[in-house]
Amino acid sequence: MIFRRAIIRLTLTYTVVQLLLFGAFALGIYAFVTGTFDFDVPELDGEAFIASAEQGFALLRNGLLVGYAALVVVLPVSSYLMARSALAPVRRSYELQQRFVDGASHEFRSPLSVIQGELELALSRSRTPAQYRAAMTAALESAEGLTRLTNDLLLLTREDADELEATFEPVSLNGLAHKAARGHGAAARIAVTESRAVIVDGSTELLTRALTNLVDNAAKFTDESGHIDIIISGTGRIAYIQVADNGIGMTDAESAHAFDRFWRAQDARTTPGFGLGLPLVKQIVSAHKGKVSITSAPGSGTTVTLTLPEHQT
């Protein structure tokens, strides 16, 4: 809305300024041409010359008026394009900042909850030094993960992809899958299937976030009697991560909007969340030069597939 109003104001300003300039230019041309001819010299060509000159002036005047009328139609379009072009860098910067804020607000909840929970547990009653140390260690690990996640999110929202890629390292998808399964409350119904070791180049924190978001989503929409499968495979050049559940599923129309920011399916609006988990997954995968796809059917569950370049030795 802010940028729409700014574009409208700039469009009007550019249009008025250009019309005034072209109007002054046209008047200047007309005044110069009419003032150049001297009608008080009949000996040149007599009345025929004067009539011809007046006809030429009339054509010039009409031509300038028609041209000006055409500019009244054309200039708003060109002014709008100029305004959009002028505001494009500002809009891009704003969108990147908003993306960071949205992603941070969504992803910071889990590590902050761990830190808060460990500290509250430690202070709830007197404990042994070893118990205090364990609580502080868990809180410190979450704080360190939060710091890495913040840095990765900041890099993720920058336009320079090379800066993010410079932080990439070999990451085991097998390890991430087992960690996601163990760290989830629904671990008993999460199975990891792997054909071999699969390594990709990327950010451990960001890929962990992506996989955790997929598992969280699957768990939200799968009842306790259902199951979630994390399938890891690779071809030597392409790595695949699939998170499949047998939950409530989605229609084709809902699947088409699954990666839109803040969008939530009708059946999902009663569950906690902001509609940012899957959009962030797509953003993370894109930053790793990969792709994400989703297949789903009502009552049959959902499968999300991440495709990433496999690490080349």
Dump pLDDT digits (tens) for 52-67. Answer: 667 767 777 777 777 7
Distances (CA, A) of 281 to 28, 31, 216, 311: 61, 65, 12, 20
The answer to whether residue 217 sits within a structural domain is yes
pLDDT for the residue 209 = 84
Are residues 185 and 229 located together in one domain of the fold? yes
pLDDT for the residue 33 = 66
Are residues 186 and 225 located together in one domain of the fold? yes
Rounded CA-CA distance 241/63 in Å is 67
Average pLDDT in the chain: 77
The answer to whether residue 102 sits within a structural domain is no
Closest C-alpha among 273, 281, 272 to residue 304: 281
**225 secondary structure, DSSP code:** T
Are residues 254 and 171 located together in one domain of the fold? yes
CB of 220 within 8 A of CB of 246?
Answer: no
Rounded CA-CA distance 76/170 in Å is 53
Are residues 147 and 178 located together in one domain of the fold? no
Domain membership of residue 152 as a residue range? 108-157
The answer to whether residue 46 sits within a structural domain is yes
Are residues 136 and 201 located together in one domain of the fold? no
Are residues 249 and 299 located together in one domain of the fold? yes
**290 secondary structure, DSSP code:** -
Are residues 87 and 185 located together in one domain of the fold? no
The answer to whether residue 274 sits within a structural domain is yes
The answer to whether residue 61 sits within a structural domain is yes
Closest C-alpha among 246, 171, 251, 249 to residue 211: 171
Rounded CA-CA distance 135/153 in Å is 27
The answer to whether residue 183 sits within a structural domain is yes
- Split into its structural domains, the chain has a count of 3
pLDDT for the residue 224 = 78
pLDDT for the residue 235 = 92
Q: What is the CATH number of the domain that holds 273?
A: 3.30.565.10
Are residues 138 and 196 located together in one domain of the fold? no
Copy the structure tokens of residue 295: 């297949």
SS3 percent helix, strand, coil of the chain, rounded to 5, is 60, 15, 25
pLDDT for the residue 104 = 64
Q: What is the CATH number of the domain that holds 138?
A: 1.10.287
Are residues 87 and 118 located together in one domain of the fold? no
The answer to whether residue 103 sits within a structural domain is no
pLDDT for the residue 305 = 94
Residue ranges in the chain modelled with pLDDT below 70: 1-3, 28, 30-53, 56, 89, 92-93, 96-97, 99-107, 148-149, 151-162, 185-188, 261-276
pLDDT for the residue 247 = 85
Are residues 137 and 194 located together in one domain of the fold? no
pLDDT for the residue 3 = 65
Are residues 33 and 49 located together in one domain of the fold? yes
pLDDT for the residue 241 = 94
What ranges in 44-159 are assigned the alpha helix state H? 47-107, 109-123, 129-156
Maximum alpha-carbon separation in the chain: 120
Closest C-alpha among 290, 282, 298, 182 to residue 237: 290
* Region of residue 106 (left: phi > 0; alpha: psi -120 to 50; beta: else): alpha
269 Cβ partners below 8 Å, 6+ apart? none
Rounded CA-CA distance 203/213 in Å is 15
pLDDT for the residue 272 = 46
pLDDT for the residue 172 = 95
User: Reading across the β-sheet that carries 291-297, which strands appear in turn?
Assistant: 190-194, 228-234, 238-245, 301-309, 291-297
3-class secondary structure, 197:
coil
Are residues 132 and 153 located together in one domain of the fold? yes
3-class secondary structure, 41:
coil
